[in-house]
Amino acid sequence: MNVLIYGAGVLGAQAYHLLHEMPEFNISGFIDDTKEIGESIFPDQKVTENRETLEKKISKEPNFTKDYGLALAIGPDNLAARWKVFRWGFEKGFDFPNLIHPRASVDASASVGKGNIILANATIDHEVSIGDANYLDIGCLISHNSVIGNNNFLTTGCATAGNVKFGNHNFVGMHSTFTDYVEVGDENYFSAKNLVNRNIPDRRKILTFLDQKSLPI
C-alpha cells in the first residue's frame, strides 16, 4: 500500500522509521499544513501536499483516495486537531492502516480499529479492544479485557492492569500505570510516572506527587 504521512514533525519521523520496518507499505510523501511544499524531510522524502492541495486533487481525481492510505502523525500537543484530520480523511475515503511494529505483540483475540500506531515491544493482551487513531509508544502494555477508545496518546512504558477502560482524547505520560478496573473519561492529561488507582472523570490534569511539591533534601 502507498502511504502518505500526515505530519512532518517528530511524530512524522517516527512514522517514517516505523514504515521502513514494514515492507508491505511504500512511503509516498509527507502532508503538512505548516511547512512549505517541497521542503525536504529526509534525503528521500519531502512535503508533497497540504490539506488544501489534497482537497483540490481529490476534487479532480475522485479515485485518488483509493490509491493511498494515510498515517496519522500529528503529535499530542493538539489531540483535537489529530482527531479532526482523522475524521476528515475518513470522510474523504482514505484508508487508515494500522501501523504495528513487527516486534509488537498483539493477541489474536484483540480488536484493533483503524489508524493506530503501535510501536516496538508494546503488548496488547487477550480480549483487548482498541478503537481508532490511538498511539501506543515503545513498551506499552494493555492487559486483558481492557478497552481503549479513540485518539488516545500513550507514551513510552505505560501500562494498564486488566479490565481498564479509557475514553477518548487522553494523553498519558511515560511509565504511568493504571490498576485493575480503573475507568478514565475523555480529554485527560496524566503526567509521567502516575499510579492511577481510582476512576478519573473527564477533563482532569493528573500530576504525580513530585510534580506538586518541592521536597527538601
Can you give the residue range of the structural domain that contains 14? 2-92
Q: Is the pTM of this model over 0.85?
A: yes
Q: What digits encode the pLDDT tens for the residues 70-118?
A: 999 999 999 999 999 999 999 999 999 999 999 999 999 999 999 999 9
One domain, residues 87 and 153: no
pLDDT of residue 214: 42
> How distant, in Å, are the alpha carbons of 13, 89, 114 from that of 54?
21, 10, 21
- How many domains would you assign to the chain? 2
Q: Which of 92, 109, 143 is the last residue of a domain?
A: 92
- pLDDT at site 16: 98
Task: Quote the pLDDT of residue 62.
Answer: 85
**Do both 127 and 87 map to the same domain?**
no
Report if residue 213 sits inside a domain: no
* Arithmetic mean of pLDDT over the chain: 95
What is the reported pLDDT for 216?
A: 55
Q: Are residues 116 and 73 in the same domain?
A: no
Please check whether residue 177 is in contact with residue 158, taking contact to mean a CB–CB distance below 8 angstroms. yes
Q: Give the cell for residue 155.
A: 507514551
What pLDDT is recorded for position 207?
A: 87
Residue 15 burial by Cβ neighbours in a 10 Å radius (0-12, 13-18, 19+): buried
Spell out, as residue ranges, where the chain has pLDDT lower than 70.
209-217
Can you name the residues that pair with 14 across neighbouring β-strands? none
Q: Which domain-ending residue is among 72, 92, 112? A: 92
> According to the model, what pLDDT value does residue 208 have?
78
